[in-house]
Amino acid sequence: MSSAAVGERSGAVRVIGLITLILGVVFIVAGGVTWGAVASNLAAEKITVSDDASAFQGQLVDTPWEAWVQADIINTHALEASGGKTYAELDQDDPTRSTVMTASFLRASLFTSVVAFGVALLVFGVGVTFVLVGWALRKVGTVPRAVVTDTTQTAPPAAAHA
């Protein structure tokens, strides 16, 4: 029985793996930097979660969860101020309309930060996936493409009968 490697190691697969690994690292860094930038810019606004919010009371808004909870309580306060009406439902001369409009803008800004956090997390996750795929491609590129094993057995020549 004998075996032999057929084909060569794939340099192209290893190069693609390396490129994928590098892109993965870039995405991981980009996602982390974006998360940090959104968090620090949000924190710079010095918004604290309202004491009557469902969670995170009194905490500085610098995470997507705190931003979501603060946006929710702003909506609750705006609806209380307007008697349960939204901005679009209020008459143009209603004095609470500007309050509800400001609340709507604040909520939109907070929800925009929640989306930005989500995109940062997505980019980070794609980066991790790329690193894993790149690592796998590099491994695949280092092994022979195929191994052929000869399992045929040759019988010893038969003795000549006289």
| Residue 150 clears pLDDT 60, i.e. is over it | yes
Residue-wise burial string across 7-28, b where 16 or more C-beta atoms lie within 10 A, e elsewhere: eeebeebbebbeebbebbeebb
pLDDT tens digits, residue range 29-58? 999 999 999 999 999 999 999 999 999 999
| Residue 5 clears pLDDT 70, i.e. is over it | no
Angle between helices 64-81 and 97-140 in degrees, nearest 10: 160
Q: List beta partners, residue 48.
A: 60
Classify residue 127 by burial, with Cβ atoms within 10 Å: 0-12, 13-18, 19+: buried
Q: If we measure between CA atoms, which residue out of 74, 100, 72, 78 comes closest to residue 87?
A: 100
The pTM score is 0.76
Q: What percent of the chain has pLDDT over 70?
A: 83
- Residue the block writes with tokens 């969670």: 55
Q: Are 90 and 96 in contact (CB under 8 A)?
A: yes
